[in-house]
Amino acid sequence: MSEDISEPIARELERRGLSAPALLMLEAHRPLRPLLSMGATFLLPIARPLLGPAATATARTLDDERAYDRLLRRLRRGARG
């Protein structure tokens, strides 16, 4: 089974110590997820050369509601301890 698309994002946020701020931002912007997804897809041709695979993973996570929820759950676990 392949790795969940939200897992690399969660690991990188945790590595940088940004789990709690990212969790707050993602929860606050949940109603805007469809709009953010469209924006990420639109900017992907520009972002991909700058950010590499992270740009694609972020766009795919925003596009998939279940992946977005898994990212939130993963960040909650990381923020607890």
Alpha-carbon distance of 30 to 68, in angstroms, equals 9
The answer to whether residue 54 is domain-embedded is yes
The predicted model scores a pTM of 0.83
Residue 29, helix vs strand vs coil: coil
Which tens digit of pLDDT belongs to each residue from 10-60? Answer: 999 999 999 999 999 999 999 999 999 999 999 999 999 998 988 998 999
| Domain span at 27 | 7-80
For residue 33, tell me if it sits in a domain. yes
Q: Is the pLDDT of residue 80 over 70?
A: yes
Interhelix angle 53-63/33-51, nearest 10 degrees: 170
How many domains, in total, are found in the chain? 1
Write out the two tokens for 40.
């990420």
**CB-based contacts of 30, cutoff 8 Å, min separation 6:** 68
Q: Per the domain annotation, does 1 fall within a domain?
A: no
pLDDT at 1 over 60: no
